């Protein structure tokens, strides 16, 4: 199991006390809110009381009035409007809600989404030409367009008006569109800058609705706005929290037949909605359309009003997603095999892996999974006709965009941000790219960047965990980026620890002495190799309510677990001492470390049992548990016994970290009295 760094969020105690004095919040909840930037009485009220009145005035966005006037003029003059979107979930939901609302307004409207594989990302001239030739007078971009300077200039030349709505970072020069609506524009006075593309699109809808006196009709669209917002991984605070909080209340009985069908095939029908269920259930199925076929299938799903047809499309998207998963699994396995053919792959700070004809639509997802496996920045490239194109994903603390920029001479083109990027280059430059990125990382990567981090809110006493607290925590939903699910460090002895699940990959246990709480740890089954019943541990966990046979009880969702720091510190001390001492020459026997034949026999039998299991590996913490050693200091006895066995030629062993690998010379007969070290104990 990978070592992780636990980082406790720093709270301002004065702010915690102030919030507690101004509200009825408990100390734990007050600290959790302060950790999330909710640090005033007004902010607490807004946090818990999201309503449609919480939205900011859409006309605070630059160019909003111009956009509204032009769209309504198009409606009044029966001009044709084209909604131009992106092929990801944010783009699909943006396209869908604007298309449906403009139809509701009485506009003549159609939509256009470029083909990921044939046209690539963003507005292109060929599409603009087609739109104009088909008789459209106005194009509205959603979730794209902020960098389309040349394309909009061309649109102006051919007499096609353009309104841009986007949320991506602005470049120095903005497109010369009729209106450019983006809260990140320099000088824009809109108070919330972190809307997803679908959030900006919704603000345009809100402005149109307010102008035409039908604002009460737009709140139903929040269901789809929330899907795009969560899928685009924008922070869930401010207006994004208002969007998701309101939408999650209505989504289980959504009005949109397409969303309802998608929830049905995702096994989410009627269930409580969470960011996780969108991220792992709804989002991937919508994304699969653009990755495997064409994103227009996802738009059709949302804009149709036919239950049977929607279910048919949803089932097709579900199958597309399964095909995407198969492709992804195949590419992932191939990539892992390629990476591990290199004997020094774990010495590389940045890994570049490439192969011919990997499906371009899924390699970004594979890059993310490779980051999870190796926890280092990954670039994955698909090679075709002498060129390579692909995706980069990074880890917290390493700016992959700046690393690519330092090697810009190797690319045909590249772009992205701190955590993700895309690029294309000649196949002959791939080897130089990996060398260049690793050279950059050697200079700019901080020491602990390649160690995974777990951010924790606070240390929690086991006796403070109860149903009332968990109920208060659940009122802080929806969770996501910017409003993470609260996590705690809990400490206590473990009991009933065992592997569970079909492949025994998961962990079940109880933590605590007087106050015992059941816990589950997904993908933590290997913990049983070094942790045993009765041992003191500390774990990072979130809390939830487990309901079984109408009985509710607190449950810990374990993210990571380890022995207490004192235990680990003492074991490391004993190992360090063991490695530095010459037992034959320097060791002086002390009473507490005396050995006898029975102890040596028991230990050797233990080693024989373990010799055929666990890849000949033993964790010293597990050894302590097996022999019921309450004090880690007693480990020194067993380290000495290893030296006796080694001296007699019974074992070869190597200590690495907190474990050892070993092999026994079975069948060899020896006399203990041939050991000089053993004779010291006589």
CA 98 to each of CA 158, 209, 379, 677: distance values in angstroms, whole numbers, following the listed order: 24, 12, 35, 82
Average pLDDT over residues 156-182: 94
Give the pLDDT band of residue 612 (cuts 50, 70, 90): low
In CATH terms, 56-319 corresponds, of 1.25.40.10, 3.90.1640.30, 3.30.110.30, 3.10.129.10, to: 3.90.1640.30
Give the tens place of pLDDT for each residue, 214-230.
999 999 999 999 999 99
Is residue 478 reached through a cis peptide bond, with omega within 30 degrees of 0 on the bond before it? yes
Most confident segment among 115-124, 135-144, 653-662: 135-144
pLDDT at 614: 53
Where do the CATH 3.10.310.30 domains begin and end in the chain? 342-444
The whole-angstrom separation of Cα 528 and Cα 523 is: 12
CA 117 to each of CA 325, 339, 362, 386: distance values in angstroms, whole numbers, following the listed order: 18, 27, 11, 18
Q: What percent of the chain has pLDDT over 70?
A: 97
Among the listed residues 101, 111, 112, 113, the one whose alpha carbon sits nearest the alpha carbon of residue 68: 101
Q: What CATH number labels 5-10+454-563?
A: 2.40.50.460
Residue with tokens 């009627």: 270
The whole-angstrom separation of Cα 210 and Cα 26 is: 40
Residue 415 has pLDDT above 80, yes or no: no
> Cβ(268)–Cβ(281) under 8 Å?
yes
Q: What CATH number labels 342-444?
A: 3.10.310.30
* Residue 585 DSSP SS3: helix
Where do the CATH 2.40.50.460 domains begin and end in the chain? 5-10+454-563
pTM, two decimal places: 0.85
DSSP secondary structure string for all residues of 200-251: HHHHHHHHHHHHHT-GGGSGGGHHHHHHHHHHTT--SSTHHHHHHHHHHHHG
Length of the chain measured in residues: 682
DSSP 8-state secondary structure symbol assigned to residue 282:
I
Give the pLDDT band of residue 263 (cuts 50, 70, 90): very high
Residue 294 has pLDDT above 80, yes or no: no
CA 291 to each of CA 174, 288, 294, 416: distance values in angstroms, whole numbers, following the listed order: 29, 5, 7, 19
pLDDT at 23: 92
> Cβ(31)–Cβ(11) under 8 Å?
yes
- Across the chain, mean pLDDT equals 91
Where do the CATH 3.90.1640.30 domains begin and end in the chain? 56-319
Residue with tokens 């002498």: 386
Residue with tokens 């195949």: 330
């Amino acid at each position: 199991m990978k070592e992780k760094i636990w980082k406790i969020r720093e709270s301002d105690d004065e702010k915690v006390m102030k919030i507690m004095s101004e509200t009825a919040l408990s100390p734990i909840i007050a600290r959790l809110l302060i950790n999330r930037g909710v640090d005033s009485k007004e902010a607490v009220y807004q946090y818990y009381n999201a309503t449609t009145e919480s939205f900011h005035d859409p006309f605070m966005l630059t160019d909003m009035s111009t956009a509204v006037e032009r769209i309504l003029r198009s409606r009044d003059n029966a001009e044709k409007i084209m909604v131009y979107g992106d092929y990801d979930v944010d783009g699909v939901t943006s396209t869908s809600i604007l298309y449906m609302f403009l139809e509701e307004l009485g506009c003549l409207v159609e939509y256009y989404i470029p083909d990921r594989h044939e046209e690539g990302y963003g507005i292109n001239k060929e599409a603009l030409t087609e739109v104009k030739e088909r008789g459209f007078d106005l194009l509205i971009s959603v979730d794209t367009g902020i960098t389309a300077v040349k394309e909009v200039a061309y649109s102006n030349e051919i007499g096609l008006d353009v309104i841009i709505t986007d949320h991506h970072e602005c470049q120095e020069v903005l497109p010369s569109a009729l209106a450019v609506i983006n809260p990140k524009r320099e000088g824009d006075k809109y108070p919330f800058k972190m809307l997803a593309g679908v959030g900006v699109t919704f603000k345009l809808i809100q402005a149109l609705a307010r102008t035409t006196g039908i604002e009460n009709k737009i709140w139903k669209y929040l269901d789809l706005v929330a899907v795009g917002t969560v899928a685009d991984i924008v922070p869930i605070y401010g207006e994004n929290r208002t969007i998701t909080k309101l939408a999650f209340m209505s989504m289980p009985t959504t009005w949109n037949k397409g969303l309802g069908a998608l929830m049905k095939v995702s096994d989410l029908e009627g269930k409580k909605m969470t960011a996780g269920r969108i991220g792992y259930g709804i989002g991937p199925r919508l994304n699969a359309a653009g990755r495997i076929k064409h994103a227009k299938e996802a738009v059709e799903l949302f804009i149709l009003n036919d239950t049977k047809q929607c279910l048919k499309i949803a089932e097709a998207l579900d199958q597309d997603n399964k095909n995407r998963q198969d492709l992804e699994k195949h590419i992932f396995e191939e990539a892992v095999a390629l990476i591990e053919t290199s004997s020094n792959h774990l010495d590389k700070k940045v890994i570049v892996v490439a192969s011919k004809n990997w499906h371009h639509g899924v390699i970004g997802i594979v890059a993310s999974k490779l980051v999870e496996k190796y926890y280092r920045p990954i670039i994955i490239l698909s090679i075709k006709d002498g060129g390579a194109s692909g995706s980069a994903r990074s880890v917290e603390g390493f700016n992959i965009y700046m690393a690519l920029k330092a090697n810009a001479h190797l690319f045909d083109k590249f772009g992205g941000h701190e955590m993700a990027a895309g690029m294309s280059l000649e196949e002959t430059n791939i080897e130089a790219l990996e060398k260049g990125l690793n050279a950059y990382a050697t200079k700019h990567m901080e020491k602990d960047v390649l160690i995974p981090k777990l951010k924790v809110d606070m240390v929690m006493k086991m006796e403070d965990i109860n149903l009332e607290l968990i109920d208060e925590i659940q009122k802080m939903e929806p969770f996501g980026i910017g409003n993470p699910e609260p996590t705690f460090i809990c400490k206590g002895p473990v009991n009933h620890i065992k592997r569970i699940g079909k492949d025994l990959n998961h962990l079940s246990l109880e933590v605590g002495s007087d106050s015992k709480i059941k816990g589950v740890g997904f993908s933590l089954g290997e913990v049983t190799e070094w942790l045993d019943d009765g041992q003191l541990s500390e774990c990072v966990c979130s809390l939830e309510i487990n309901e079984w046979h109408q009985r509710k009880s607190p449950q810990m969702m374990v993210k990571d677990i380890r022995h207490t720091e004192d235990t680990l510190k003492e074991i490391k001390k004993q190992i360090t001492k063991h490695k530095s001492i010459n037992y034959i020459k320097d060791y002086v026997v002390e009473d507490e470390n005396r050995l006898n034949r029975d102890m040596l026999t028991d230990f050797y039998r233990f080693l024989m049992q373990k010799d055929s299991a666990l890849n000949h590996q033993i964790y010293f913490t597990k050894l302590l548990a097996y022999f019921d050693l309450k004090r880690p200091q007693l480990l020194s006895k067993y380290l000495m016994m290893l030296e006796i066995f080694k001296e007699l030629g019974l074992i070869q062993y190597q200590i690495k970290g907190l474990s050892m690998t070993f092999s026994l010379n079975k069948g060899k007969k020896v006399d203990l009295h041939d050991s000089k070290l053993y004779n010291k104990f006589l």
